[in-house]
Structure 1
Amino acid sequence: MAQAIYQGFVLSRQQMQVNGQLRLCYWLKSQHQLLKVWVEDEQPLFFIKQDKKTEVELLLSRAQLQFSISPSQLKHFDQAPVCVVKFRTLNHFYEAKQLLENKVALYEEDIRHADRYLMERFIRGAAWVKGKATQKPGYIEITQAQFKACDDYRPHLEMLSIDIECNGEGVLFSVGLVTDTKKLVIMIGEAQHAAVNVVWVEDEIALLEELVKQVNRLDPDVLIGWNVIEFDAAILVERAQANGVALAIGRDGGVMSTFKGNYTRVFIPGRVILDGIDMMKNATYHFETFKLSFVAEKILGATKLIAQDDRLEEIIRQFHHDKPALAAYNLQDCQLVLDIFSKLNLLEFALARTQLTGLELEKMGGSVAAFTNLYLPLLHRSGYIAPNLSEHGINFDSPGGYVMDSKPGLYQNILVLDFKSLYPSIIRTFCIDPMGLIEGLQHPEYAIEGFNKGKFSRTEHHLPGLVAALSSAREQAKLDKDMMLSQAIKIIMNSLYGVLGSKGCRFYDPRLASSITMRGHQIMQQTRTWIEQLGYEVIYGDTDSTFVCLPESLRSEACQAIGKQLMAEINERWRALLMESFGLHSHLEIEFETHYSPFFMPTIRGQEVGSKKRYVGQITELGKQKLVFKGMETVRSDWTEIAKEYQQAIIRALFDGLDTVEITHQYINEIFAGKVDEKLIYKKKLGKSVELYTKNIPPQVKAAKQAIEDGLLQTAKKGVQIPYYLSTDGPKFAQQGKLVDIDYYQYVEKQILPIYQMLPNASKLSIRSDGQQSFDLL
């Protein structure tokens, strides 16, 4: 065995017990080969306060556990010294946790050692690995390994899109597999001609065995799919176990396994599995539904081969009577997922996020985990362990973002000035930090005053430095045109306040969160005062945005110049004020973002008070005029298409000086004439399974229950989107082309008139349709 050094990117991590010892196993992708890396001589651990040492020694000794306990250089946030308790085996570690539960407070006992090992070495995806190397079939095995961080390596990873088809009980029919160069379906049945590449197998056992063969032949780094973890992978493991087949698709012949808790986790040695829905949500994509058919149409302009609502029934029919059609459908679903990943660079986003946080590629959500991964090793180097949840006993609600009362109306010129990353900038400027709070309270004479008795050390902190590093990295990513990295950084930066305000985070302290939001209130109010002192009217403000009204007579060029002047003036005033009042360098930066011309801020329906978080304005983009809606019906998923279209049309008419009454008449008449029936469908998700609704039954639930009784739906579970319309007999399930007895009056009353009523001077008008109904807007 030769001593060697390799550069690679961590694909999977595992901790296991081998010959009674903890061993850590990492699979890495290097430039030309795979690495299976073993780290030995590690010990799982947790911390206890030093005054509990005797009690813990007695309890663990009585249980005959192998452990060591020794004083640590670290301390608790309450300044109490701590001990570190280590174990020779994982079994004894878990037994000790269970034994000490509810008897002694344990610290950091929930951190997996495979994660801790990388975290403490600041390894975020990429690493240098040194150890004894042995060539194995398909990979290099490295033992006695040592890791060192490597910041600039991002590998090329091969993707395999996978999709299963099965009956309602999970019994498999077929599995589709698609890469950039290979496409095939493994299908149970007699061989027959098909338009796509099909490998025909005799039964479910043969299908699973062929799947193992094909995955290992294609040898992907990443498996992708749509709901692939909770559905496809979970069913494959269940069916393999039921049939006595080992799903040996790991890089070393290891078996794919699943772990179910609050969510399902899939482990494949040497491979990663990524779910398309989770990836899109984490990259902040928003859709009214994340069904593959809907997302594929929006992103790719493509439709699925089976488009009907009850696809399971059609899949079963095709399996028994038209297997070539099912194979084509199966394969197309794989292709759609691969195309979405490729078009949106979702794999690049996952790599960028891991490079920033050190979390596993497949770790979804995980803002709290990302914060812990970044912060904890820095905290240790400053002499502290992490506290447990809400140990400080302080609990009060922190205020949300600042929202100013609006001045409703139609305006010709509105400027929007936005503070760039306001909350991260507050963290950086005012040194808001969990450890900084502890140090500030210890030495208040040198601290920066926060809110709700919070005080923050000017020198002992880590979060401001993390924000500075992330901000710098984002600017570089923009220069490098690495948009996935830039987006990943933005998401992480914006999550910092949310994490500190989350009771699920071990560093939660309401003094931290309130010192951010209340400072934000102060900054927004002072900014408004300065702008008004400069002679301009502020009509609205929201969290980090200030809306400034300019004279109607000004042309665009003059408005742009004023926007830039205000930006420079406000930034300079903040620099001067913070240095004079706090002795702090300002990292606050307001930007002139948008010139709206015209701009409309509606009232709250039925009131004269201005609305909040709802407005529409016109911008000029690449020489073309464009309407931008915020919080209005046209961007809400719980309004019908006709309402969205009408609002677009009525605002366009308002801005162009056209007759809004005439436009409204046209839409009402089209509704009563039955010309837009297909645009009258509501789409709402179920908050729980339909059978759990017993008292308050909303319209989508009524429609779903009736559809089940009529045989149009088999069941309706939580998260299912129900299309329905309003009939004269109440809400009904919407079947394509089969809307009958539509209550047109309700649509005008609920979808058209509320939008009309928000227009300026709308209360002075009355509208009659061509039908018998009269619509009075007084």
Structure 2
Amino acid sequence: PELPVTGAPSAEHLRKSSSFTVACPGTRQTMPKVSFDVECVPSEAVLLNFLLAKLQRLEPDILIGHDLLGGIVEKLLARMRVRGTSKWSRLGRLVRSKHLTEVFGTSKSMYARASSVSVAISGRLPCDTYIQARELLPKAKDYSLAALAESELKEIVPSFKSKAISNMLSTVDGVTELVGASERRTEAALKLAVHLSIIPLTKQLTNLSGNVWSRTLRGMRAERIEYLLSHEFSKESVSGLVDVKFILPDKLRKSDKPTTGAGTKTTSRRKAQYAGGLVLEPKRGLYDHHILQLDFNSLYPSIIQEYNICFTTVLQDSEEPAKIKLPEASEKEGILPRVLRRLVEQRRSVKSQMKSTKNPLLLKQLETRQLALKLTANSIYGCLGFENSRYFAQPMAEMVTAQGRDTLMKTVELAREKQMDVIYGDTDSLFINTGLTELPMVVAQGADLKKEVNRRYRTLEIEIDGVYVKMLLLRKKKYAAMRIQNLRMPDHLVREVKGLDLVRHDWCDLSHEASEYSLQQILGSGLRPDDAVANILDFLTQLAAKVRGNMLSLKKYIITKSLTKMPEEYPDGTTTPHVKVAFRAKQFGK
């Protein structure tokens, strides 16, 4: 709600109460701080027009913010619609004279809202640190600005709930504090963008794929690969090196796809359309001898190269047209394998340059370049199995994963022929209980298996990925272990956790603390297993008493979940807990 003019703090009071400054991250030593004035306006409508006028005057090429697209711009558009702001198109560079409602309608779907934001900021590059952090920091638990600033920048950034902000706006001191907090949050978003190298990295990704930079910044990974492959097939057609012309595949939209029949109940969880990687049943237990892990480098991209899998090379089964067969060994190299080979060779060349350069700036540029090449190469297989991709080809995706399963199984058989104890395997990784405690002997055993495996293939390569001195193997995709961080420094250990609630986003802090204590006792205390278990039971008994006695903060029970669409769009929203919470929040005006 708007404050009356008499309740707004004066600009003079704000200037005297606090000093607000801004600095460019990474250049604090050479860039002097520049003070800016605090402007006070009588109403929200004037405030929105003031912002639009400033944008027109500054004419920025790039807009940087945290949750810029899904939060900041969307909220600005919503308020401009309410206030009837006529110059709303100044958010971007495409001049529009129509009212917001005429341009965007009243649809509340996630897709419609995203389209509105894209149109509104046309002509400016949107650097949304939230979107990019989700792609570049997949292991992060919380993607809020405060959490990312603490984990990545080692800084504390203030955050406020909606109710707290409303209360702060009613007092002079509250507004002063809010302005200062907004400044620190703005600077943190800028620092995070620099820290993640978002601008140079997305520029490299765009150059590689030949798409539009603003779309790369929006996280359109599948679209990048579509452009990359479309350019490649187009060049092949124009070059005259082939006897055929390639036709661009149709891209089916949601409305073009077959729908379920009337009365058919749909759920948000769908079964996989085809078999994925091979996951072996683990030999559960606590291992205190060295465990050797071997890993195939970029398994699926390597399989595409190894077997020359491409739209132009695979053979259609004459009896079952929906099935395909591997191409003949004499078949000319397909476009997909050739693109992957080029990307791999370029990345190898860049990494070679990184080893020889001593210039920090050039090293950072090369690091960005190699990361862009890696992300692009690893995304090519994904477009084959992604049903919304223009190059969706389920039979080819099935073929790649089938060869992956076969490759892993043959490697397991080879290891067992060498009397090695394979305790677990997952997609492209193999875990072997060596029964040894001497690191040189463990590495020698791994090198022997690596040599035997690699001699069988042309592009597929397996490497020693790690050695663990202790491992707790619970079930498929769930284990914890103490890993030797550097084989040259065997005493330097780090803990690695996979799949347990300790590293999952959607478990509460109370569960994390219980898991943390349990793993510390089992893996890091040096105690005998029986003593470690006794300590864990005592800890859990005390924790249960605190829970029953309501002695713990409510924050300990909070579970973090995110929505990928509007609550009304979930078919099972009435039974899904986090969707029900979202409905309740909307009832309270949140």
Fold conserved between structures, TM > 0.5? yes
> For residues 469-490 of structure 1, what are the alpha-carbon distances to aligned partners after superposition, in whole Å with 9 as ceiling and x for unaligned?
1112222343434333333332
Could you tell me whether the CA contact under 8 Å between 2:446 and 2:464 is conserved in 1? Answer: yes
User: What is the aligned partner in structure 2 of residue 674 from structure 1?
Assistant: 546
- CA offset at residue 243 of structure 1? 2.6
Question: What is the correspondence of 1:23-34 to structure 2 with a 5 Å cutoff?
Answer: none
Q: Secondary structure of the residue that 2:12 maps to in structure 1?
A: coil
CA shift digits 1:426-475 (9 cap, x unpaired)? 011111112333xx449x9xxxxx99433436216211011111112222
Amino acid at match of 1:626: V
Report the counterpart of residue 558 of structure 1 in structure 2: 441
Considering only CA atoms, is the larger Rg found in Structure 1 or Structure 2? 1
- Partners of 1:216 and 1:686 lie apart in 2 by 35
SS at 1:598's partner residue? strand
Q: Distance in 1 between matches of 2:569 and 2:324?
A: 49
- Tell me the C-alpha RMSD between the 2 structures: 3.8
Tell me how far 1:212 sits from its aligned partner: 3.9
Partner of 2:38: 198
Deviations 1:196-235 (A, max 9, x none): 2312334445434433443355443311112212332234
Q: Distance in 1 between matches of 2:512 and 2:77?
A: 45
2:25 corresponds to: none
The gaps in structure 1 that reach 5 residues or longer are: 1-166, 174-186, 445-449, 576-585, 603-610, 717-778
Q: 2:278 aligns with which of 402, 405, 430?
A: 402
Q: Taking structure 1 as reference, are residues 296 and 714 closer, same or farther at Cα in structure 2, changes over 3 Å only?
A: farther
Q: TM-score, normalised by structure 1?
A: 0.57
1:361 to 204, 207, 213: 213
Matched, 1:633 2:501: yes
Q: Residue 245 in 1 paired to residue 120 in 2? A: no
CA gap of 1:229–1:643, structure 2 versus 1, over 3 A, is: closer
User: Which of residues 112, 129, 132 is equivalent to 1:261?
Assistant: 112
Q: What is the identity, as a one-letter code, of the residue corresponding to 2:219?
A: G
Q: Partner letter of residue 344 of structure 1?
A: L
Residues 33-44 of structure 1 correspond to what in structure 2 (within 5 A)? none
- The higher-RCO structure (CA 8 Å, 6+ apart) is 2
Unaligned 5+ residue runs, structure 2?
21-36, 105-110, 238-244, 259-271, 355-362
Q: Report deviation, 1:703.
A: 7.5
Q: Is contact 1:419-1:545 (8 Å) kept?
A: yes
* C-alpha distance 666-564 of structure 1, shift in aligned 2 (>3 A): same
Among 319, 324, 327, which residue is 1:453 paired with? 324
Whether 1:515 and 2:392 are equivalent positions in the alignment is no
Q: Tell me if structure 1 keeps the 8 A contact 2:280–2:426.
A: yes
Structure (1 or 2) with the greater helix fraction = 2
Q: Which residue of 1 aligns with 2:141?
A: 288
Tell me the equivalent position of 2:480.
616
Structural mapping, 1:410-559, within 5 Å: 410-411=286-287, 412-437=289-314, 440-441=315-316, 452-456=323-327, 458-459=331-332, 461-479=334-352, 480=354, 481=363, 482-552=366-436, 554-559=437-442
Contact 1:189 1:202 in 2 (8 A): no
Query: For this pair of structures, how many residues does the alignment match?
Result: 497
Shift of 1:357: 1.5
1:418 aligned counterpart, secondary structure: strand
8 Å CA contact 1:540–1:548 kept in 2: the answer is yes
- Would you say 1:594 and 2:466 are equivalent positions? yes
Residues 451, 247 of structure 1: alpha-carbon distance in 2 compared, 3 angstrom cutoff: closer
Residue 64 of structure 2 aligns with which residue?
A: 224
Write the mapping of 1:313-324 to structure 2, written as runs, cut at 5 A: 313-322=163-172, 323-324=175-176
Instruction: For residue 672 of structure 1, report the CA deviation from its aligned partner.
Output: 4.7
Shift of 1:630: 0.9
Question: Which secondary structure state, in structure 2, belongs to the residue aligned with residue 597 of structure 1?
Answer: strand
Structure with the largest fraction of strand: 1
What is the match of residue 559 of structure 2? Answer: 683
CA distance in 1, matches of 2:300, 2:224: 18
- Counterpart Cα distance in 2 of 1:484 and 1:532: 41
In the superposition, the TM-score normalised over structure 2's length comes to 0.74
The code of the aligned residue for 1:485 comes to: R
CA contact (8 A) 2:278 2:404 kept: yes
Q: Partners of 1:254 and 1:708 in 2: how far apart?
A: 34
In structure 1, what is the Cα distance between the partners aligned to 2:460 and 2:493?
31
Quote how far apart the aligned CAs of 1:422 are: 0.3
